[in-house]
């Protein structure tokens, strides 16, 4: 399954709303899509699992939805610490590939 994320780069300001897309080349079994945030020099951090469930400790500004082949991560009221790279990944079918990432920049 190929995951295509769009846009590649998203330029926004603090307080704005970010909408990130992840489209799969075929339906993801059980909607097993996760979203990660990665900052420079750090390992990725789990944000969302099973397409729409927030991981422990993730603010409710982060929300996600989707099913089948189309998945969306929404970040409301952007904070300065939200500017990072975001990846989606599917665990429906091996190989468990990632999307190419969306860079969210100020």
Name the site residues for another protein (rule: CB under 8 A): 30, 32, 34, 36, 38, 43-46, 49-50, 53, 55, 85, 87, 89, 91, 94-101
**Other CB atoms within 10 Å distance of the CB of residue 17:** 11
Helix runs in the chain, H state only: none
Q: Which is nearer to another protein, 16 or 92 (CB)?
A: 92
Pair type for strands 85-90 and 102-105: antiparallel
Contact 22, 73 (CB under 8 A): yes
Please report how close the Cβ of residue 67 comes to another protein at its closest, in angstroms.
14
Please report how close the Cβ of residue 98 comes to another protein at its closest, in angstroms.
4
Burial label for 91, CB within 10 Å (0-12, 13-18, 19+), is: middle
Q: Which is nearer to another protein, 15 or 95 (CB)?
A: 95
Q: Which is nearer to another protein, 69 or 100 (CB)?
A: 100
Please report how close the Cβ of residue 6 comes to another protein at its closest, in angstroms.
14
Q: Which is nearer to another protein, 53 or 74 (CB)?
A: 53
Between the alpha carbon of residue 89 and those of residues 12, 21, 35, 56, 106, the distances in Å are 24, 12, 6, 18, 24
Please report how close the Cβ of residue 41 comes to another protein at its closest, in angstroms.
9
């Amino acid at each position: 399954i190929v995951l295509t994320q769009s846009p590649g780069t998203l330029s926004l300001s603090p307080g704005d709303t970010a909408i990130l897309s992840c489209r799969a080349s075929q339906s993801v079994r059980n909607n097993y899509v996760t979203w990660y945030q990665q900052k420079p020099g750090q390992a990725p951090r789990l944000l969302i699992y099973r397409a729409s469930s927030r991981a422990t400790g993730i603010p409710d500004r982060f929300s996600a939805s989707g099913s089948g082949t189309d998945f969306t991560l929404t970040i409301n009221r952007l904070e300065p610490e939200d500017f990072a790279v975001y990846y989606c990944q599917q665990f429906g079918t091996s190989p468990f590939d990632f999307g190419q990432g969306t860079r969210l920049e100020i």
